[in-house]
Structure 1
Amino acid sequence: MQFRVPQFIEVEDKIFGPFTFKQFVYLAGGAGMAFVVYKILDAFLPLVITLFFVIPVIALAFALAFYKINEKPFINSVEAAFRYYFGEKLYIWKKENRPMEITKKATKESSENSLVPKLSDSKLKDLSWGLDVLNTSKEE
């Protein structure tokens, strides 16, 4: 039986005209956010200053929809930037002196436990019977 192997699986389908679903969501979300920012700021700021806040929202929406860095979507770079800026960083050259907390009780208990095994009388009898220690000592 021959099967058809799907090709071009990395290419997204165009759903809304020339836009993919992701591109359409980014553009619609950016337009909606720009409209909300415009309506809020237009009430008490002049148009020039309002556009100063609206244009970056539109630019971010277009960058998310169309701009690629090293053939990867722009959202990957934005995500990597957020992880870098807000993530935990390990600096090898910055030594932090942390006081070592050693509990003496824990070390003493562990050393005592390792030296003397706890055996009950019945366990000792079972071991001696298994080794025939009692029988050989009675015969002699």
Structure 2
Amino acid sequence: MQHQVPQFIDVEDKIFGPLTAKQFFYVAAGGSIIFIMYVFFQMWLVILIGVPVAAFSLALAFLKLNGIPFIKIVSNALSYASSNRLFLWKKVPKAVKTEKEILGTQIELSGTKLTQNRLQDLSWSLDVQKNLNIKR
């Protein structure tokens, strides 16, 4: 039984004439921003701000650098700019303790304090263990 394998699965469908859905929405968003600016602002301001908006929306729709879509490049640049960076050659020196700090700290012994009752309980449990080992 033979099955047909789909070809060109990485090519997006052309939905709006020669444009894909993504391309159409990028161009439509840029055009609507420019239209809203045309309604509310003077013409010199619309041209001044509208040209970069149009260039950016057209770049989002059509530009690929080294086969990578421009939207991916913009998102990678924004994530890089907002993330923390680790510079191994800019190490922060560790704080060195002085002798006064070292001698001033008191060393506490770990463990609980032995009271007379606790000491008797430990002695009894050791005797029980000793008696069990002898009987075996």
TM-score, length-scaled by structure 1: 0.68
In 2, the alpha carbon distance for the partners of 1:97 and 1:25 equals 52
Q: Of the candidates 68, 77, 84, which is equivalent to residue 80 of structure 2?
A: 84
- In structure 2, the partner of 1:68 is 64
Amino acid at match of 1:96: V
Instruction: Please tell me whether residue 10 in structure 1 is matched to residue 6 in structure 2.
Output: no
Other structure's SS at 1:9 match: coil
Please show how residues 35-74 of structure 1 align to structure 2 within 5 Å: 35-42=35-42, 47-74=43-70
The percentage of aligned residue pairs carrying the same residue is: 37
Instruction: Please tell me whether residue 34 in structure 1 is matched to residue 30 in structure 2.
Output: no
In 2, the alpha carbon distance for the partners of 1:19 and 1:128 equals 89
In 1, the alpha carbon distance for the partners of 2:89 and 2:63 equals 37
Amino acid at match of 1:7: Q
In 2, the alpha carbon distance for the partners of 1:36 and 1:6 equals 43
In 2, the alpha carbon distance for the partners of 1:124 and 1:10 equals 76
Instruction: Please tell me whether residue 96 in structure 1 is matched to residue 92 in structure 2.
Output: yes
* Residue ranges of structure 1 left out of the alignment (5+ in a row): 114-119
**Are the counterparts in 1 of residues 27 and 57 from structure 2 also a CA contact under 8 Å?**
yes
In 1, the alpha carbon distance for the partners of 2:18 and 2:128 equals 85
Amino acid at match of 2:44: V
Structure 1 residues 133 and 48, CA, compared in 2 at 3 Å: closer, same or farther?
same
